[in-house]
Amino acid sequence: MRSCSWIPAFAGTTIAFACAFSAQAGIKVEKYAEGVYVAVRTEPPGLMFDANVVFLVNDEDVVVVDANLTPSSAKESIAALRAITKRPVRYLVNTHWHIDHVGGNATWREAYPGIEFIAHTSAREDMLKTGETNRKAFLEGGGGFAKQLREKVQKGENFAGKALTEEEREAYLADATLVESYLREGPAIEAVLPTLAIDGRFVLRRGERVIDIRHLGAGHTAADLVVHLPNEGILIAGDLVVFPVPLVGSTSYPSAYAATLGRLLELKPKLIVPGHGPILRKDDHVWTTMRMLEALASQVGAAVARGETLEQARRSVHLEKYRATLVGESPQRELIFRSYVLQPGIEAAYNEAKGKKP
């Protein structure tokens, strides 16, 4: 879950546990290599998120990547994993500290006592400070957002005051359902902190499998980890990569983000697991995201050098080329682009150019 205004201005083998989208969504579990399974969330792209979860089933144990938003969605992933294997989960990697990736930590710990949680060294402080502040704000403001979403669906009107498309209707309902789920469960969610903190690189060897956990640099947050499976050619990217629209957000570092994606591309993955969205077998979306971030950082940096205020800088930024590629004709994708790139993303780039932390 990222800071966002409450009133917004693919291939694989399905092997177990599927739930198609109705008013509620779930997961679709797909196998991509021997012992490598991804529980892909089935919500349509929206403003509210739950995370894709990866199961690495090894000879004697399991390594999981990311923990879901709520206890209920974590239990859904745990049930899917237990349908695959009875082996214990030894490690769970939190790719970063946002609640949609760590909210299920306590549920995983309850299901697998002795589990170790791996995260970046700064994640502990982020979870306790910014994460807790964002959690409280969400619990206070989320109810109004969910109500507004359902009212928009009832009226058949989008946030721009135009007729609601079917794509928007499904997204609004999915967003409302996720918000309401978190409002029910969020107050009781325990912040489970990392037991193993890494700063640069940590390699696990589980039988023949090499699990290379890296911090490639700041990006979506300062604490983003990726999990590289070099033998399989698979990269688990967390929210450094999100499809269809990148989530830049208020806790991002756009200039560093672009450089981090460059290092990610140097790993030459054959398959990328994004934090949200379907599996990517091509890297063109990552290249587009990187080029957009470079343009964003460059234009905002130039605005800062000219002495412009944040609001002046907003008017100086022109990302139409990238908007066209990422958004197309979709009003729903346009809403996401505006809510995560043009609003908090520009502010994040402005703060970064001025040397301020998010």
Share of the chain above pLDDT 70, in %: 93
* In the predicted structure, residue 182 carries a pLDDT above the cut 70: yes
* In the predicted structure, residue 4 carries a pLDDT above the cut 50: no
Task: Grade residue 25 by pLDDT with cuts at 50, 70 and 90.
Answer: low
The dihedral formed by the CA atoms of 331, 352, 252 and 172, expressed in degrees to the nearest 10: -30
The DSSP annotation for 301-339 comes to: HHHHHTT--HHHHHHH---HHHHHHHHTT-HHHHHHHII
Is the alpha carbon torsion for 64, 67, 68, 73 positive or negative?
A: positive
* In the predicted structure, residue 263 carries a pLDDT above the cut 50: yes
Question: What pLDDT does 21 receive?
Answer: 28
- Contact call for residues 220 and 239 (beta carbons, < 8 A): yes
Question: What pLDDT does 308 receive?
Answer: 97
Spell out the domain ranges in the chain: 13-128+190-284
Rounded distance, CA 248 to CA 342, Å?
9
- Contact call for residues 243 and 285 (beta carbons, < 8 A): yes
Is the alpha carbon torsion for 7, 187, 64, 87 positive or negative?
A: negative
Rounded distance, CA 32 to CA 154, Å?
40
Give Cβ neighbours of residue 315 (< 8 Å, ≥ 6 apart). Answer: none
Residue located via tokens 């794509």: 167
pLDDT digits (tens, 9 = 90+) for 113-145: 999 999 999 999 999 999 999 999 999 999 999
Rounded distance, CA 137 to CA 1, Å?
11
- Average pLDDT on 1-11 reads 37
pLDDT digits (tens, 9 = 90+) for 27-69: 999 999 999 999 999 999 999 999 999 999 999 999 999 999 9
What's the fold here for domain 13-128+190-284?
A: Metallo-beta-lactamase; Chain A (3.60.15)
Strand order in the sheet with 36-41: 13-18, 27-33, 36-41, 53-57, 62-65, 89-93, 116-120, 196-198
Question: What pLDDT does 20 receive?
Answer: 30
- Average pLDDT on 88-96 reads 99
Nearest alpha-carbon partner for 351 in 286, 303, 291, 294: 303
- Contact call for residues 313 and 307 (beta carbons, < 8 A): no
pLDDT digits (tens, 9 = 90+) for 241-251: 999 999 999 99
pTM above 0.75, yes or no: yes
Tokens for 344, please give them.
């908090």
- Average pLDDT on 146-153 reads 98
Rounded distance, CA 12 to CA 261, Å?
24
Q: Please list, residue by residue across 122-148, b when 16 or more beta carbons sit within 10 angstroms of its beta carbon and e when fewer do.
A: bbbebbeebbeebbeebeeebeebbeb
